[in-house]
Amino acid sequence: MIELTIPNATALSGWRKSSYSDSNGGSCLEVLDGHPFGIPIRDSKTPHGPALLFPADSWIPFVTALKNGEFPGSTG
């Protein structure tokens, strides 16, 4: 089974700000491309904190649900 969190996200390099992040510097989601087991994401305000690892086949449905406002607090 693949672990779905990375305890210390700074262990990985190459993070980039997601195109879905807030352009006002508030809500910034960072994504790491090219990870062999999925799509790691982290909160830019806590770079040493954990990252979530999404299976690649779950990433598009997750982003689509965010854009559609399907989660509490998401703005779509």
Q: Which stretch of DSSP H or E encloses residue 31?
A: strand 29-31
Contact residues for 44 (Cβ-Cβ < 8 A; gap 6+)? 17, 21, 28, 29, 30
Stretch 36-53: mean pLDDT, rounded? 90
Mean pLDDT score, 65-75: 79
* Confidence check: pLDDT of 62 > 90: no
Determine contact, residues 50/9, Cβ cutoff 8 Å.
Answer: yes
The pLDDT of residue 72 is 77
Task: Provide the pLDDT for residue 2.
Answer: 62
